[in-house]
Amino acid sequence: MIAIPGIVPNAGPHLGSLVETFRPWLGLAVPVLLLAALLRRSTTALLAVVALAGVWSVVFAAAFKPGDGTGGIVAVQHNASDENPDPQGTARALLAAGPDLVALEEVLPEALPAYSGVLDPELPYRAVSGTVALWSRYPLTDVRPLDIKPEAIGDGWQRALRATAAVPGLGPVAVYVAHLPSLRLGLTGFGSGPRDEGAAKLGPLLTAEPVHRLILLGDLNATTADRGLRPVTRQLNAPPEDFTFSWPASSPVARIDQVLARGGKVPAIRALPATGSDHLPVVARVVF
């Protein structure tokens, strides 16, 4: 399952997506199985555990590589939470990463002035649609909302936008900000239906985007390994799967906040210190 999680079926309770979401944690089985093999004094079991450890190490080798280096477009992604008690402090924390782009989700209208008051002087170009917002160091044009709303969700749900950033030396870069529906883990399994429907609507929008260079920032409520996100991830480059987790902020177990690119690479991604949100911000360099 570590090397080929796709063998786990996704029908019904979406167990395949569940395994893919928490795949890095499958490595915790190695010490447990190793102890069992030693207690049983089984050479066969010991060799199997060593093989399992080797597969896990190969799959997650990127977790042990150096940081993200320099250059490129520095992008910060953060679900800031609609219950954030300190929007201004959150904005200052994000600016400390030296971003060229900042994407926020769950930005309520009454909190927007607080974020803008801190971010606007450094990132003067802004786009807002519903509860998602983008701040940019570069001029933004062709800003418009995107429809990724699942059919079962009522009117007034607006959680995606796109804009074109004029980046010196590169030209136009399409920037998408999206907040896919949340997951529900319960007795019936991994409730990813609305999230998957949102991803299925976002995928064709990315395909149809005429600007070749593209950055997608968002709380996608999915890891890049989750097959439910394939309409998106099969056409974009993602940072290596590692142990940069963004949710929940108090004890992160998965990275569901993403920085993805087309026409370029995202060599690495890292989490920033906690803010007043239940998510950690993430920052990455996008190199075209």
pLDDT in tens, the chain (288 residues): 545 555 656 555 656 555 566 656 555 555 765 565 567 777 775 665 566 555 555 655 555 555 556 679 999 999 999 999 999 999 999 999 999 999 999 999 999 999 999 999 999 999 999 999 999 999 999 999 999 999 999 999 999 999 999 999 999 999 999 999 998 765 556 688 999 999 999 999 999 999 999 999 999 999 999 999 999 999 999 999 888 999 999 999 999 999 999 999 999 999 999 999 999 999 999 999
- Full set of structural domains in the chain with CATH: 5-59 (no CATH), 73-286 (3.60.10.10)
Query: Among candidates 133, 273, 250, 247, which has minimal Cα distance to 258?
Result: 247
* Distance of alpha carbon 112 from alpha carbon 109, whole angstroms: 5
How far is residue 72 CA from its own chain's centroid? 19
CA distances from 277 to 27, 78, 107, 157, 181 (A): 29, 9, 11, 21, 17
With b for 16 or more beta-carbon neighbours within 10 A and e for fewer, the 85-113 pattern comes to eebbebbebbbebebbbbbbbbbeeebbe
Name the strand (E) or helix (H) holding 76. strand 73-79
Q: Are 199 and 159 in contact (CB under 8 A)?
A: no
Bridge partners (DSSP) of residue 105 are 79
